[in-house]
Structure 1
């Protein structure tokens, strides 16, 4: 964990010089924030201080005062996720304690050349490590709470339990929708008409494995076509939705009813519970990025 967070901190260095050059030439939005999560802003000034603290590292090449977009998005995503963590943990009543902080500080202190790292960056690394300890303490929502989360907005449960039928044309997808409206079963139609090679066995399931109809939302977001992910995250539970175009064809999608997948959902969310719940929470948050850095895709929880 420490190494990953330190790599994140090192990647921040790339942005620092760029920020001091590029940001000074850009119009600052009325909010004066690099980003906002549910109205809580991270000030541009604070972002500049962080970048300035990183600028002396020299681990990255900056060309003509510019840095690649991947670096900016990596840094901003880390900060957006951390602010999201603060709000999510507060809602759940998860609080950082002395043991969390002490353990994070002790781990950080073993880092080579720790004493030479700027204090601002030290504090960020410790905060990120502390947060991961708190995230790891999250528990599976009790009783009917998980059902309510899933049925209200599936992704907010931290797990997606979805199926799809993919065909070549929009007309074919509309024909699939008509047959579903007439009462045919989704899995049977997937086996019959979907051009996905494994559909005859899977019935169109997008689960993590043939025996698991679900997968963690963060895995779902990065493994599937962006347009498809957006449609799935916004689709209602138990209601076939389409036609939806992706780079692979035309889809009809279904977030499966809780009664069909409830046990599998609980099994999936029981592994990496906090990480999945936080990722799910972010799909329902109002996150805005300063346009000079990109835009926030809510369904994918990504800066584009």
Structure 2
């Protein structure tokens, strides 16, 4: 039996929301992860993994948890701790009404009462945090601009133009032209081998405008390209970035060029965009035995 989590932890478990457990930040135990003022102890992670194993959600053999299971659960816990930080930043609290609503929903499943106590509390806390996250509103245009110009991905979206060529030397030549002051669209039209670049100017947009959700980049784009895009500064041509398609010059478009798209897109789900952006740009520390957080994929991966 699995429970209704909106985001995947494992093949059979998914989690979103804020982790509100006092035991997660036990300073006397080695931290499995730290972000901002929040942390998850290795002991707490072990407890959750054990209770997931007891519930048949993960396979434990000879007392050993598969590394990918640990990373998947830890990734969900990272989202939880990040959500706590984000809610605190915007002055939104997880209310008892949130917890009661979730508790009522999960208690309708008879199997819930058979789960370990810590796992039950985690399920309630994560889902209650998700309800609080949904109450976040979009920042002001001034704050959006500040966040975008400081770390474009912090808004949970990317507003990018690019050109791609076969040879690194060609990419460097195009970059020199851009650094000399030529407009990106003009250079992309001349150099890029991407079909339609002469008309699009290399803009990577969607039917919703000039920006694409970061989650789409993390799940659908070449990971090396995403890494390059995440490292680029607004208004500064960056490259060459090698991907499976060739060599790119990446251009995170200036805020004033895309602000209408930014405001329109973030208004559709402020909490989700902001948490994805926070997770991709936060200074998160993962215990070395578990792996590292890769913002290009939005997951904890092996070292």
- TM bin, normalised by shorter chain, reads 0.7 to 0.9
| Residue number in structure 2 paired with 1:201 | 199
Residue 80 of structure 1 deviates from its aligned partner by 0.6
Residue 5 of structure 1 deviates from its aligned partner by 5.4
- The worse-fitting range, judged by mean Cα deviation, of 37-46 and 147-156 is 37-46
The number of equivalent residue pairs is 286
- Determine if the alignment matches structure 1 residue 220 to structure 2 residue 211: no
SS of the aligned residue for 1:3 comes to coil
Q: Quick check: which one's helix share is greater?
A: 1
| Residue number in structure 1 paired with 2:54 | 56
Cα distance in structure 1, aligned partners of 2:48 and 2:238: 44
Contact 1:85 1:131 in 2 (8 A): yes
Contact 1:216 1:269 in 2 (8 A): no
- Determine if the alignment matches structure 1 residue 4 to structure 2 residue 5: yes
TM-score normalised by length of structure 1 = 0.86
- The worse-fitting range, judged by mean Cα deviation, of 83-92 and 190-199 is 190-199
Q: What CA deviation, in whole Å up to 9, does each residue of 1:248-302 have, x standing for no partner?
A: 2100000101111000111111112101101111222111111221112245432
TM-score normalised by length of structure 2 = 0.86
Tell me which of 283, 288, 291 is aligned to 2:288.
291
SS of the aligned residue for 1:114 comes to helix
Q: What CA deviation, in whole Å up to 9, does each residue of 1:95-115 have, x standing for no partner?
A: 011221111111111224222
| Residue number in structure 2 paired with 1:103 | 101
Residues 45, 2 of structure 1: alpha-carbon distance in 2 compared, 3 angstrom cutoff: closer
- Determine if the alignment matches structure 1 residue 250 to structure 2 residue 251: no
| Residue number in structure 1 paired with 2:183 | 185
Cα distance in structure 1, aligned partners of 2:280 and 2:268: 19
SS of the aligned residue for 2:33 comes to strand
Residues 90, 164 of structure 1: alpha-carbon distance in 2 compared, 3 angstrom cutoff: same
Q: How does 1:253-292 map to 2 (within 5 A)?
A: 253-292=250-289
Tell me which of 24, 27, 34 is aligned to 2:32.
34
Q: Mind listing any 5+ residue stretches in structure 1 that lack a counterpart? A: 13-29
Q: Mind listing any 5+ residue stretches in structure 2 that lack a counterpart? A: 14-27
| Residue number in structure 2 paired with 1:230 | 227
Cα distance in structure 2, aligned partners of 1:42 and 1:117: 20
Cα distance in structure 2, aligned partners of 1:103 and 1:148: 36
| Residue number in structure 2 paired with 1:125 | 123
- The worse-fitting range, judged by mean Cα deviation, of 282-291 and 167-176 is 282-291
Contact 2:225 2:243 in 1 (8 A): yes
Residue 31 of structure 1 deviates from its aligned partner by 7.2
SS of the aligned residue for 2:206 comes to coil
